[in-house]
A and B are shown apart, each in its own frame.
Chain A
């Protein structure tokens, strides 16, 4: 048995790079080593690139080593770069689950979306692609167990760079993105229905949309990908060190609809690296919940469907640090720091939100309209710690240190906010609108004048 199969073995050459790599995979299976290396130099074409004209289909128990190589999706092609062997089976079960797949970068590896093929979310099905723009997802993993993706630089992805549906026991590490968003939806890493036991670490760079999105919604592709015997929930996800610019969107997004659950998500450190030089800012570091009835196919999410989210060490210059768009329960957010143009600490889009047992502990809020690095700000936004109209429920915000804040809180529709150990020195007013909400500051209930 060999140590690995190289894609530069002449007997494996095909009429295209995808064919050659696929032949190498088959040879590795036959040999038993189940490991291939895609090197920098492409002997077949005498170039330092691998042009991918059709998806490389990866079977179970396969290690693919990308060795300092540059791989680019071919112009005019409508397919993934990598996907697992049973990803597109019509009927998916635990028996057809692919497993033990590793895609490992060595040295400086670059995966590029190349020239965009024009397929977008709003046009995919019109051009006869039943999966819509799923064909444009660079790495597509459906019904996979024990997957590793490490040490890659991904640029100009045509849609979501890495998409997972019904995957479990996944480790993603040291992934760097570069996307100047010339098309919408250039997400970094997506977890869709049925994903659990993920560990993601060191996710950096610039994505054209959410850097990490965990979205338990029953889209067409997700319903088609349903796996008998697997729960549709997203759960037990650990995220560490997200240092990214999400280009107007969210560094980390979590949402759900249709009774699917998202729970037990631990987020340790998000740093928003957008800056004034890019002239715009992220929506928020963490966005939780779905906006109103968006994405509903069966029923709206109810309180408790999205729960046990624990995030710490969040540094944001976005429109807000934390954005709650729908119900969230039993969750904590610790050490939240804003800077630059993050004028609102906690916000909501305003389509109706319910909070239950939410605690923010350690909130440091600085945003200055006079900041020379504020970049472009199109509307005047007063600086507020909590600005959540159309929200009800209970929120506790403790250990609050705020500079130059115009309002501590705007809540008018039944959100009860309890501020504990709140430094009032930098706060001009407690509340803008009280309505039916109850606000307590350092043990004293605020009364509207």
Chain B
């Protein structure tokens, strides 16, 4: 509708159905008509996982959404989602967020009562988030900037999740995790076919061991953990190495 185009966004209230259906219709319509923004105000309960199309600006304007969110995931193929921008504006998602094979994903200013996971995401940026569960960067994540995150635990993991993305390098590289609170600490686990390169974690507060590198009982070549920097860590125990690494600096 022209009115919605001029307004610049659609809302779930523009559609009929349950909360989850309305939100999905709003997203699908916004994508189809190239309006590319959906704004939520109020409280919503979605029973099905909501799929956010690419080139979408999803805004929680003080809203609370009970439900899970993901992008259009087509596993094992090369279809990429681009430019998904989730803006909290004081809003909250009670559920899990999962993004796979997304380029330029941005999450800002929101509370997530659940987990946030990314796999094969290039240039994601997450700032000013409170995550009650786990923040996970999986295989293929590259060029990530994560700052001012408060979460229960964090993981950077090269473990095979049972699928892959054809044509994408599974290496985890060029990762920045800075100025955040990770209550139970961060665990970094490479894999035989997924190395870490250029990972910097600094300015972190933790109540337990801040960073654990490697996995007990699993010995990978040190080249699988290359060029890591850990600095300005505040924790009872700063870094524990369960695997050899190459060119790690701890400040």
Contacts and interface: CB of A to CB of B under 8 A. Distances in A.
B196 to A, nearest CB: 11
Contacts of B85: 107-108
Given A107-B87, A202-B125, A243-B143, A337 B176 contact: no
Contacts of B6: 8, 39, 41, 43
A41 B5 contact: yes
A334 to B, nearest CB: 9
B101 interface: no
A68 B123 CA distance: 19
Contact of A204 (B145, B200, B227, B229): B145
Interface residues of B, number: 34
A204 B227 CA distance: 20
Nearest to B4: A41
Contacts of A108: 36, 55-57, 83, 85
Given A243-B176, A271-B176, A339-B198, A40 B8 contact: yes
A271 B247 CA distance: 15
A337 B198 contact: yes
A365 to B, nearest CB: 8
Interface string B136-168: 000000110100000000000000000000000
A241 interface: yes
B200 A366 contact: no
Nearest to A401: B247
Interface string A384-420: 0000000000000000010100000000000000000
B34 interface: yes
B16 interface: no
Contact of B251 (A40, A153, A275, A335): A335
Interface string A291-319: 00000000000000000000001010000
A269 interface: yes
Interface in B202-251: 226-227, 229, 231, 246-247, 249, 251
Interface string A211-234: 000000000000000000000000
Interface band, chain A = 20 to 34
Contacts of A241: 145, 176, 178
A266 to B, nearest CB: 15
Contacts of B35: 40-41
Interface in A61-75: 67-68
B113 interface: no
A239 B249 CA distance: 21
A68 B104 CA distance: 14
A48 interface: yes
Contact of A313 (B34, B37, B55, B229): B229
B80 interface: no
A243 B85 CA distance: 19
A15 to B, nearest CB: 21
Contacts of A403: 246-247
Nearest to B202: A313
B57 A68 contact: yes
A8 B3 CA distance: 12
B249 A362 contact: yes
A273 interface: yes
A176 interface: yes
Given A40-B34, A204-B143, 9 more contacts: A68-B8, A108-B56, A108-B57, A204-B145, A241-B176, A243-B143, A313-B229, A339-B226, A366-B247
11 contacts: A43-B6, A48-B34, A68-B57, A107-B57, A107-B85, A204-B123, A243-B143, A243-B174, A269-B176, A335-B231, A403-B247
